Amino acid sequence: MSLNTKKVTKAKWIDEVLTKVNRAKKRGKLERATKLYAVRASYDQKKRQLIIVMANGSSFSFPPKLAEGLARKSAESLSVIEISPMGMGLHWPKLNVDLTVEGLLSGIFGSDQWMLKQHLSKAGKVKSPAKAISSRENGAKGGRPKKKIQHQPHL
């Protein structure tokens, strides 16, 4: 490889990094302009709510039981909340729990796997008139039919 090739490669790499830095700066300016970042966070023990105050003056709250890692935790551990330097994340140091402000505003209270588990656990608890009628009909027939076990021949 010649010396000129090394200079071109290095210059190209620097240009790519600078381009990414400039894009990140623009994205950061846009996010800061919306003022949808946390400036204060607290736990209201009386109401059992976590309260997040945003830079634009709005606020939102939610019960800790909705969030991954916060359910059934002491008021003392829920009360210690750190806000990331840009206000985009929340950290509970006593619990080692991190959540993003954007995620919370979007109704995302944990990891994908945790959210799916929460949703599925509630799916079987749905009550409706149609489900009640179906259950009564199945009960009148002797209940849910037993699964037939198919024996596989041994090879």
How many Å apart are CA 134 and CA 140, to the nearest integer? 10
Angular region, 94: left φ>0, alpha ψ -120 to 50, beta rest? alpha
* pLDDT per residue rounded down to tens, the chain (155 residues): 555 555 556 678 888 889 999 998 888 777 777 778 999 999 999 999 999 999 989 999 999 999 999 999 999 999 999 999 889 999 999 999 999 999 999 888 888 888 788 777 766 666 778 777 877 787 777 776 677 777 767 66
| CA 21, 24, 26, 32 torsion-angle sign | negative
| CA 69, 75, 76, 81 torsion-angle sign | positive
> What tens digit of pLDDT does each residue of 118-142 get?
777 766 666 778 777 877 787 777 7
How many Å apart are CA 81 and CA 62, to the nearest integer? 14
The DSSP code for 27 is H
Looking at residue 136, its pLDDT comes to 78
How far out from the chain centre does Cα 101 lie? 9
pTM: 0.59
